[in-house]
Amino acid sequence: MAMGKNLSVQLLDVRKKIGTRVLFEKLNIVVNPGECLAITGPNGSGKSTLLKIIAGLGQPTTGAVQVWYNGKQLDLEERRACLGLISPEIILYTDLTGSENILFFTRLRGLRCSQDQIEEYCKTVGLAIYKDQLVHTYSTGMRQRLKFALMLAMQPVLWLLDEPSSNLDADGKMLVAQIISNGLAQKATVIIATNEPWEAEYADCKIELV
């Protein structure tokens, strides 16, 4: 996974209609490795919906999202196998500890992740002393940090971030900024849906939804 990060996302005339309301249409864009796309727009403009469509958790009404990895187009299963998602809709198991959550999801994806590595990731996001406590004792900010630890453990090539710094303190926001710029430096493809102007600053390209 770590080698040859060469993943690009292509939106082809993507249009989504929910009920009678057209959320967005005529979206055409290519995001290349090491590039960052920002999706901005007011609440209810369809940012999260678009991100879910890119993740393959929903279909566009018309048009298509294509994901290319080393010159090969990925099907939905392969696409999910190489993406990491941070979103308010991702909820981790509250009956498991932080490190058990990471261990479970990495195993599920067939990755090897040692206790040392888990400790390392938890330390990066500032959860080192809490990693063996049940997630239902965590605050919302700690849960958000755990999602980042999980994403780092997954080593995804495609990062989909929905409001990545929500519920985080100033320190946490800096951490997010750090993680994103590290990811971009390692040639990950990053797509951020956000309302925070500073998060959009990383963007090489933008989609503004209305």
Partner 1 sequence: MPTAKSSLFNGIWAIFIKDGLCEFRTRYAVSALFMFALISLASISMSIGIVSLPVELTAALLWVILFFCAMAGLSRVFVQEQESGTIVALQIYGSGQAVLFGKLLFNVIVLLSLTLLVIPLFIIFLNVDIYRWPIFIVILIMGDIGIAAASTITAAMVAKSQGKNALFTVLTFPILLPQFLGSISATTKILANIEPNASEIVFMAGYNVVLMIASSILFDYLWYD
Site track 139-168 with partner 1 (rule: CB under 8 A), x = hit:
---------------x--------------
d(CA 51, CA 85): 9
Q: Burial of 57 by CB count in 10 Å (0-12 exposed, 13-18 middle, 19+ buried)?
A: middle
Q: Which is nearer to partner 1, 26 or 112 (CB)?
A: 112
CB 98 within 8 A of CB 131: yes
Q: Which residues pair with 85 in a beta bridge?
A: 160
Q: Output the smallest distance, CB 210 to partner 1, in A.
A: 26
Q: Per CB under 8 A, does 100 bind partner 1?
A: yes
Which residues ranging from 55 to 94 are in contact with partner 1 (CB under 8 A)?
55-59, 69, 76-78, 80-83, 85, 87, 89-94
Handedness of CA 166, 169, 174, 176 (dihedral sign): negative
Q: Per CB under 8 A, does 132 bind partner 1?
A: no
Q: Per CB under 8 A, does 173 bind partner 1?
A: no
Q: Which residues pair with 159 in a beta bridge?
A: 84, 190
Q: Per CB under 8 A, does 169 bind partner 1?
A: no
Q: Per CB under 8 A, does 107 bind partner 1?
A: yes
With residues binned 3-state (H G I as helix, E B as strand, rest as coil), the percentages for the chain, rounded to 5, are 35, 30, 35
Number of residues that bind partner 1 (CB under 8 A): 33
Q: Per CB under 8 A, does 102 bind partner 1?
A: no
CB 134 within 8 A of CB 95: yes
Residues that bind partner 1 (CB under 8 A): 1, 55-59, 69, 76-78, 80-83, 85, 87, 89-96, 100, 104-105, 107-111, 154
